[in-house]
Amino acid sequence: MLAGAQAPAREPNELGRVMILEYHKIDTPENRWTRTPENFKRDLARLWERGYRLVALTDYLDGKISLPAGTTPVMLTFDDSSPGQFRYIQRGNDWVIDPECGLGILEAFAREHPGFGRAATFYVLPGANPPNRLFNQPELATRKLQYLASQGYEIGNHSLWHAELGRYPESTVRDQLASAQEWVQRHVPGYRFRTLALPMGSYPKQLGWAVSGEAKGMAYKHDAILMVAGGAAPSPFAKTFDPYHLPRIQAVEHDLDYWLTYFDRNPGERYVSDGDASTITVASGSTGKLGAVRSARVVERR
Ligand SMILES: [Zn+2]
C-alpha cells in the first residue's frame, strides 16, 4: 500500500477498463465459490482505498458515470441468490437485514464511507431448488425482491433454474428467460430485467435467443449479457465495448489480487473519471478508440 497519506493523482482516462466483479456465496469457509463475510469486507476496503467507487451496472451500460475526478467505477454482481447474499434476521417483532450477509456488509460499508456508492446487481434464480431459490427464505422472498428494486439495486436474469443455455433448443432457452422474469414479477409487479448473466457462461446456439423474445406471453429484452469470466471490461465509450459479451472478474482472492495489482502497475489502462459527466476525457492520441459517443463532449487530454 501507499506509504504516505497522499493518494497519487490519477490522470482522467475515460477509455480505460473497468472491473465487473462476480460474487457467488458469501459464507464460510472460504472456497472456490465462497467469499467469507470478512473477506468481502476486506474487498470493499481495498477498492475504497484504491479509489474505486460503486456504480450501477445499468449506469455503466448507459454511459452515465458521474464520479469525482480521479476515481474509478467498479460494479458488483452476485449470482445464484444463495442465502448468505441477502438474509433477514428477526429482531424483536421485526425483520432486519443480517449485518453479516453480503447486502448487510455492503450497506454498512456504504454508510461508513460516504461517497463509496451503493449499487449491485443480483442475478437471482426464482425457480431453483433450495437453497438457491431467491435467497432461501421463501416467506420473505417478496419482501427481499421489493427491497432490492425499491432501493435501486438491480435484479438480473440468470434463467429460471440455472439452465446451461447452450445445451437447449430455442423453445427451452426462451422459456427459461421469460419464465424467470414472470416469476420475479409475481413478487415485484411489472419488473423488467435489463441484463442477463449466462449460467456457467453458456451462450445459446444463437445469440438472438438471449437478447430478446417471448414465451408464454411474457416478453423479455436484455440490454447486456454478462459472461462468467474474461477479465476487465471495456469502457462504455470504447469501440471495443460489446454489451452482449461483457466480461467479468470472479471475486476470489487470486483474481481480485491480480486485477488490483494490474491496475496499480498499469495506471494508464484504468478508467479514471474526469469528474464531469458531460465530457469524456481521453488520453492524447486515443480518440480513434472511441465508439459511438453519445451526447457527451470529448476532451483529448494534453
Ligand atoms: Zn450462476
Q: What is the 3-state secondary structure (H, E, C) of 70-116?
A: CCEEEEEEEECCCHHHCCEEEECCEEEECCCCHHHHHHHHHHHCCCC
The CA 200 to ligand 1 mean position distance, Å, reads: 6
The CA 139 to ligand 1 mean position distance, Å, reads: 23
Report yes or no: 74 and 53 within 8 Å, Cβ to Cβ: yes
Report yes or no: 156 and 121 within 8 Å, Cβ to Cβ: yes
The CA 31 to ligand 1 mean position distance, Å, reads: 16
Cβ-based neighbours of 62, under 8 Å, separated by 6 or more: 236
Cell numbers for 179: 419464465
Report the pLDDT averaged over residues 135-164. Answer: 98
**3-state secondary structure (DSSP) of residue 139:** helix
Residue 270 pLDDT more than 60? Answer: yes
Structure confidence by residue, pLDDT tens digits, 57-91: 999 999 999 999 999 999 999 999 999 999 999 99
Structure confidence by residue, pLDDT tens digits, 206-242: 999 999 999 999 999 999 999 999 999 999 999 999 9
The CA 72 to ligand 1 mean position distance, Å, reads: 27
Determine whether 3 is exposed, middle or buried from the number of CB atoms within 10 Å of its CB (0-12, 13-18, 19+).
exposed
Per cent of the chain over pLDDT 70 is 96
Residue 5 pLDDT more than 70? Answer: no
The CA 260 to ligand 1 mean position distance, Å, reads: 24
pLDDT at 4: 43
DSSP designation for 202: -
The CA 180 to ligand 1 mean position distance, Å, reads: 13
The CA 197 to ligand 1 mean position distance, Å, reads: 8
Report yes or no: 249 and 21 within 8 Å, Cβ to Cβ: yes
Report yes or no: 233 and 243 within 8 Å, Cβ to Cβ: no
Q: Which amino acid is at 258?
A: Y
The CA 42 to ligand 1 mean position distance, Å, reads: 23
Residue 109 pLDDT more than 60? Answer: yes
The CA 123 to ligand 1 mean position distance, Å, reads: 8
The CA 297 to ligand 1 mean position distance, Å, reads: 38
The CA 250 to ligand 1 mean position distance, Å, reads: 12
DSSP designation for 237: T
Cβ-based neighbours of 149, under 8 Å, separated by 6 or more: 155, 188, 191
The CA 52 to ligand 1 mean position distance, Å, reads: 25
E runs forming strands in the chain: 19-23, 25-26, 34-35, 52-54, 72-79, 88-91, 94-97, 121-124, 154-157, 195-197, 212-215, 218-221, 224-230, 246-250, 279-282, 297-300
R_g of the chain, CA atoms, integer Å: 19
pLDDT at 3: 43
Per cent of the chain over pLDDT 90 is 92
pLDDT at 293: 66
The CA 130 to ligand 1 mean position distance, Å, reads: 14
Residue 6 pLDDT more than 60? Answer: no
